[in-house]
Amino acid sequence: MTQKVAVLGTGKIGEALLSGMIGAGWAPADLLVTARRRERAEELHARHGVTPVTNAEAAKSADTLILTVKPQDMGTLLDELAPHVPADRLVISGAAGIPTSFFEERLAPGTPVVRVMTNTPALVDEAMSVISAGTHATADHLAHTEEIFGAVGKTLRVPESQQDACTALSGSGPAYFFYLVEAMTDAGILLGLPRDKAHDLIVQSAIGAATMLRDSGEHPVKLRENVTSPAGTTINAIRELENHGVRAALIAALEAARDRSRELASGSKD
Ligand SMILES: NC(=O)C1=CN([C@@H]2O[C@H](COP(=O)(O)OP(=O)(O)OC[C@H]3O[C@@H](n4cnc5c(N)ncnc54)[C@H](OP(=O)(O)O)[C@@H]3O)[C@@H](O)[C@H]2O)C=CC1
Ligand SMILES: O=C(O)[C@@H]1CCC=N1
């Protein structure tokens, strides 16, 4: 039997997921999308051949509903959806912070809910998607969710109690690396390199380091030690990073992201 999947609130994450699913073999005819603005719905149809519908139509005709609106818009979307979602639909939330109980309290009793935190490398099929079951989600629901998010990268099951931490690490994670590249490119300019050359040097170093982290099987400390020659250049840079508290800043930054994820749990506008 064909499984229809609807993405509700198809913005950056929703579109990356759609695109990956189509690339992995899903038929556009089996994919429904909703958007708040008509021109956005038309754009998605033109780009991917998917069918724009209303939120209520999606709830009635898709087997799986993937909700990818901002956390602050989730309450409004659920108010609109709840009367139309039969209890046998799988509801997957891609929103930061919002617990599965938020959905279970608003949808028909027994509705299976799965919470997923993915990240923007979904655009290049290198996402990290972290998956947790709600009260009524079964092994089949988790497997189906893995099949969907597996189209855009890696998946990992975690207890829901770890979702806010995972949001801080991998959900927001790409932003920290982009920030580092931006700062290191600025350093290149300070050292007299043209911006485009500095950018290329840093990006290729990032790709090389990421590939080694993934493929070498070595601990990051060992990989760093291999770059750090006695009385060499790298140790001078590392001393400055330590002097400026970069390690402590990163720990505090991720803790702040985790805390914000917790605050988003209510789906309120604050
Ligand atoms: N961006 C990221 O790196 C990540 C985001 N997330 C989570 O994914 C979710 C989406 O984020 P992102 O894609 O960045 O956000 P976007 O703003 O790009 O996408 C959300 C989309 O939902 C639309 N929308 C809002 N309300 C409704 C509604 N009632 N009916 C239909 N469409 C609606 C918005 O319309 P409009 O364009 O008119 O505003 C927008 O296009 C968030 O919950 C976020 O926490 C998770 C991991 C990473
Ligand atoms: O910043 C945010 O709230 C979203 C969730 C994880 C990444 N971006």
**pLDDT for 59-98, tens place per residue?**
999 999 999 999 999 999 999 999 999 999 999 999 999 9
- Strands ordered across the beta sheet of 90-93: 51-52, 31-34, 5-8, 64-67, 90-93, 113-117, 127-133, 153-157
Q: How far apart are the first and last CA of the chain?
A: 43
Task: Return the sign of the alpha-carbon dihedral for residues 158, 16, 113, 258.
Answer: positive
**32 touches ligand 2 (CB under 6 Å):** no
Q: How far is the CA of 13 from the centre of ligand 1 (A)?
A: 7
Residue 181 burial (C-beta neighbours within 10 Å; 0-12, 13-18, 19+)? middle
According to DSSP, the β-strands at 51-52 and 127-133 are: unpaired
Identify which of 38, 41, 39 has the alpha carbon closest to the alpha carbon of residue 49.
41
**128 touches ligand 2 (CB under 6 Å):** no
Q: What's residue 54's pLDDT?
A: 97
Q: What's residue 152's pLDDT?
A: 97
**167 touches ligand 2 (CB under 6 Å):** yes
Q: What's residue 3's pLDDT?
A: 87
Q: Compute the distance between CA of residue 20 and CA of residue 256 in angstroms, rounded to an integer.
A: 31
How does pLDDT run along the chain (270 residues), one tens digit per residue? Answer: 568 999 999 999 999 999 999 999 999 999 999 999 999 999 999 999 999 999 999 999 999 999 999 999 999 999 999 999 999 999 999 999 999 999 999 999 999 999 999 999 999 999 999 999 999 999 999 999 999 999 999 999 999 999 999 999 999 999 999 999 999 999 999 999 999 999 999 999 999 999 999 999 999 999 999 999 999 999 999 999 999 999 999 999 999 999 999 999 988 777
Q: Between 173-190 and 195-215, two packed helices, what is the crossing angle to 10 degrees?
A: 140
Q: Compute the distance between CA of residue 130 and CA of residue 117 in angstroms, rounded to an integer.
A: 5
Ligand at minimal distance from the CA of 95 is 1
Q: How far is the CA of 121 from the centre of ligand 1 (A)?
A: 16
Domains annotated on the chain, with CATH: 5-158 (3.40.50.720), 173-262 (1.10.3730.10)
Q: What is this structure's pTM?
A: 0.96
Pocket of ligand 1 (CB under 6 A): 8-9, 11-14, 34-37, 40, 55, 68-71, 73, 76-77, 94-96, 117-120, 171
ipTM rounded to 2 decimals: 0.98
Q: How far is the CA of 172 from the centre of ligand 2 (A)?
A: 5
Q: What's residue 228's pLDDT?
A: 98
